[in-house]
Amino acid sequence: MSRYATVYRKLKDEPKLDVISEAKKKAGPPPESASCVFEGMSVSPGGLFSDEYRGTEGYIKIVKQIDTRINFKGKENATPPCNKDAWKVYEDYLVKVMNHAKDIILEDEAARFKDGYPEKEKL
């Protein structure tokens, strides 16, 4: 993403937004593999590259980087073995999830700022 993105928001009088959870739902379950077992996927907003704002009105987290990881292991006696060729199916799934995340962020931004972006305060 070329700009900052809201990945989590819980504000008073607004529905909660958790982009990563919603993207995983839209992507559906991970694919099956003949040689590997999918153990999970973690997508985390990039620590040093994120800002959090908390107040009486709610909470918002904005990120400039998203780190992703897929965990899997090889099935016993699988043919072909769980190697980098077999990992491609999970790479495609990760891309699918992240594309859904991008779409959710853009849809949310379009809805929130349909009347234009607020003026920046002059210092």
Residue 120 pLDDT grade (very low, low, confident, very high; cuts 50, 70, 90) = low
Query: Does the pLDDT of residue 2 top 50, yes or no?
Result: no
pLDDT tens digits, 81-119:
888 888 888 888 888 988 898 888 888 877 777 776 666
Mean pLDDT score, 8-25: 81
Domain ranges of the chain: 5-112
Look at residue 57 in the predicted model and tell me its pLDDT: 75
Report the distance separating Cα 113 and Cα 20, nearest Å: 21
Query: Does the pLDDT of residue 10 top 90, yes or no?
Result: no
Q: What is the CA radius of gyration of the chain?
A: 18
* Full DSSP string of 63-120: ES-EEEEEEEEEPTT-SS-SSTTTTHHHHHHHHHHHHHHHHHHHHHHHHHTTT-PPPP
Look at residue 25 in the predicted model and tell me its pLDDT: 92
pLDDT tens digits, 27-64:
999 888 889 998 888 776 665 566 777 877 777 777 76
- Note the pTM of the prediction, 2 decimals: 0.69
